[in-house]
A and B are shown apart, each in its own frame.
Chain A
């Protein structure tokens, strides 16, 4: 129990004191036994008031303070600092909000506002008298980061993290780096080749000895939390003897007789069983598809010095201070029969066309026939008002239009038809739309309720549409090929990552950030960040932007080496707890785990992970959990305090008769008043003039000048010539 409490009640320059009788309240609480100081102050947040509080705490040896003013959102940290400066534990302070909760909402009923304020202050006093001294929790942070996914976002983040001296573990599921970018040809706006971008990033990565790249690797197990995540990796072997020189490996690769489907080329061609995704793929070491090669023992026997099919998977343990997830996306795969996909020849997706263009440098040939015209159908698998993908994939419009420009550049005589729902080539990409229009591409608009229909007629395809640009006329487009402009989907295996790290996913099934605008790369799991297309559709520019944002957050975290967390977290009463699992079940942050304590199984709180949300406390059947600063004792005392009977003397004449003689002393003036008075020296000014001279917002000046007028600090002095504004001057008597 605290015995020497200080209570500070704020006028807020009239904001509170116009309706709540602060003077009466301060007198009333002064009479109480455990209250040593009870003051009403014009602006409790003013520098002078803060200094006075520090002096009070030290002079009267206060052991707790209650500040009754505005919302803790505004000034919680201000007064925690005041307490700390005076040598008081910052958690022996309670904020009571009598502005947003009393004077503002109850301005029509000043007496009731005062009664409510008295109740809240009493509750605050009761709470602070049970308050404990708490210390911030310091967590050590390992100077290492784990990045999941070596696409453009992950690789760029790895380089930047390594550059600032951190240990980086870059984990890639595929045997080769680059992700989707490596599959693309030229990329829009910069016209660079996708694989060139990846090659240059890879060479940059190789310059940093503090980056460890794991390819063919997956995350198997995750434990620990911010500062020290324990990760278990499974690294699949390449089944190639690394000691054999590259030339020999290449000759074996060339000789390999077996071919299977090539997922990198989206099934357009076959690949060998010993393969690289594309000739320049990195790391520059082929991979053996061991399963497929097992049925050819002769071949394996012949090259047993090169092939090592008995090589085994490795499990590797890592420690990382922070985690960045850049797992990217899956291309939407149309259902069989969706716009004739897989049921009609020459209906392919945009990623497939991009691969086809890479494989056909001179002449666009598909199914043995040269392609002279292409109809692009937009929004396939995106913006479904009834389907599961409601989002817009944002990069596909530009991607399709850019592809059409590439087609014309590469193969000259080719006609493109764009059948869209809306064109969204936002920002600088708009010029591509114009170029495409100028090169003779034709645009048609359909609505979701009247989807285009594709039929085969002889050797070509016919797209039947109701064109909204031609007064909804039924049109037929004869074309050699139909390309479905597919959007981005959350990765199929994203759920696994989400479960391992407890990253929440949205209704769109992409990873969720805390706040789309203000915390765009942070997740609710401390120390785990997301970037790139794993959190929603993005183009390369946007992916890299978010990845660098996350990188700078991680660098800041790792640089400090420690993390200071609020001590307001769950605490377990070890005697009462009998580990029933109920608390761990409801915890959104996986902060509760079973631990052994003196031979007994009890719940343990991970201090780094607990967010102090309090959801565990009410579900505990033994009442063994309490939240610091919100203990039962504190809460019960608050309720008792609020319900206690109070005697308040009502002031005569209501609130309007605030006496002029209660003029405030100069040192109590808030900074704004001082600035206003500084420009009002020796003369009379109108509000616009004051605003202009003081560079303050005129609304702010109006508000404060009115308050100053009320307290007799300034007085009106006639009107200006146009009779629009009053002049004000400093009141000589106010000092």
Chain B
């Protein structure tokens, strides 16, 4: 027995546009979506859950993560209820539900809190730089240490508990009985989807170029992370590592520039309704790639000592990225999408058993 809660619409509207009161349950969205099958009337079922405010059913569903927003459902919808955008809003809402700190929800819902957090981090960076008497060498050393610490801490304190919560909502609470062996068998799915967005290839209307862009961006981002953190790009003498870093950061800002411009032009269904979190994610990734590129360029051309501001900006962007966007912002979709594929594989194997 589930209780109907019409107030849920108001809460969900804070996570993005939704107009599901326009929906009259025709089911065209389901008919057009390649994710729907005999058991799952996707996305109609989720629209109905959202309309009626059935939060438990929504939390238990992995389906929003499987949707890659091709936009077919929104095109076919005779009432312009934008089912595709509703899935987007649901992903944001789910992110905030998985997050035990509740900060994700706060940042999604409030522009002022987000701006305040960004300003505070900028101030902290300035204070830190000042405490090092603007010594670039020391600052870079601290920056490097910061990166390593934050990666470790975010993983331990935020991501692992949040993924456990996701597992609780989607596997444990709905009473899916899965043998531990299944968790091991399904593991391959997790990594394949994490790095390749393989699921997107199943969509009927697919944009191969975008898929390739996204794939290169993921690889470039992860390898730049590896290059800066573990190969210490800003402080290396190896020519190979230096060039590798240039190439990676080049790809990052070139692809993100394309992403930002398509969000401005709204030329694809998924770019039609950009929220604050979407803008922050692509723009910060772009600036991060760009500033990293210039920091290394200034080092190589020997003008960094006179242009310390480049590193200050890069460090600010990095700190904002690592402390807000990664743990509580859109970055998490990288994890939740792939874990959703992993959990749904576990579910299907468990049912097959």
Residues of A within 8 A of B (CB): 415, 417, 437-440, 442-443, 464, 469-471, 473-478
Q: Quick check: which of B44-52, B238-246, B334-342 contacts chain A, the rest being far away? A: B44-52
Asked if B41 is at the interface of the complex by the 8 Å CB criterion, the answer is: yes
Beyond A470-B54, A475-B4, 5 additional pairs, beta carbon < 8 A: A439-B21, A442-B51, A470-B49, A471-B41, A476-B4
Asked whether B48 lies within 8 Å of A470 as measured between CB atoms, the reply is yes
Pairwise interchain contact B22-A438, C-beta atoms closer than 8 A: yes
Contact with A along B1-35 (1 / 0, CB 8 A): 11110100100000000000111110000000000
CB distance from B348 to the nearest CB of A (A): 19
Main secondary structure of the interface of A (DSSP, over half): strand
In the complex, how many residues of chain B place their beta carbon closer than 8 angstroms to a beta carbon of chain A?
18
Q: Is the CB of A471 within 8 A of B45?
A: yes
Q: In the bound complex, what is the Cα–Cα distance between A442 and B48 (angstroms)?
A: 10
Bound-state Cα–Cα, A159 to B191, Å: 83
Residues of B within 8 A of A440 (CB): 6, 9, 21
Partner among B4, B24, B54 whose Cβ is within 8 Å of the Cβ of A417: B4
17 of the cross-chain contacts (CB-CB < 8 Å) are A415-B6, A437-B22, A438-B21, A440-B6, A442-B4, A442-B6, A470-B45, A470-B49, A470-B54, A471-B41, A471-B45, A473-B2, A475-B52, A476-B1, A476-B2, A476-B4, A478-B3
Chain A residues contacting B1 (CB-CB under 8 Å) are 464, 474-476
Q: In the complex, how many angstroms separate the beta carbon of B50 from the nearest chain A beta carbon? A: 11
Residues of B within 8 A of A438 (CB): 21-22
**Which residues of chain B (61-95) have a CB below 8 Å from chain A?**
none
Mark contacts of B243-265 with chain A using CB atoms, 8 A cut-off: 1 yes-contact digit, 0 otherwise. Answer: 00000000000000000000000
Q: Is the interface of B mostly helix, strand, loop or mixed?
A: mixed
* List of 5 A-B pairs having minimum Cβ-Cβ separation, nearest first: A476-B3, A477-B4, A470-B48, A469-B25, A474-B1
- State the Cβ distance, B93 to closest chain A Cβ, in Å: 19
Which residue on chain A has the smallest CB distance to residue B2? A475
Nearest B residue (CB) for A469: B25
| Closest chain A residue, CB of each to CB of B51 | A442
Chain A residues near B23 (CB-CB < 8 A): 437
Which residue in chain B gives the minimum CB-CB distance to A438?
B21
In the bound complex, residues from chain B placing their C-beta under 8 Å from that of A442 are 4, 6, 51-52
Distance (Å) between the CB of B149 and the closest chain A CB? 47
Whether B24 contacts A470 by the Cβ 8 Å rule is no
* A191 CB, nearest partner CB in chain B, Å: 23
| In the bound complex, CA of A428 to CA of B52 (Å) | 28
Contacts of B45 in A (CB 8 A): 470-471
Chain B residues, CB < 8 A from A469: 25, 48
- Given known A-B contacts A437-B24, A469-B48, A474 and B2 have beta carbons under 8 A apart: yes
Report B-chain residues with C-beta under 8 Å of the C-beta of A439: 21
- Inter-chain CA distance A415–B52, complex, in Å, is 12
Q: How far is the CA of A464 from the CA of B3 in the complex (A)?
A: 9
Instruction: Give the docked Cα–Cα distance between A382 and B2 (Å).
Output: 29
Nearest A residue (CB) for B40: A471
Please report the C-alpha to C-alpha distance between residue A475 and residue B56 in the assembled complex, in whole angstroms.
13
Complex Cα distance A46/B71, Å?
Answer: 69
User: Whole-angstrom distance from the CB of A237 to the nearest CB of chain B?
Assistant: 54
Residues of chain A within 8 A (CB-CB) of B41 are 471
Minimum distance in angstroms from B44 CB to a CB of chain A:
9
Complex: chain B residue closest to A465, CB-CB: B4
Alpha-carbon gap, A439 to B1, bound state (A): 26
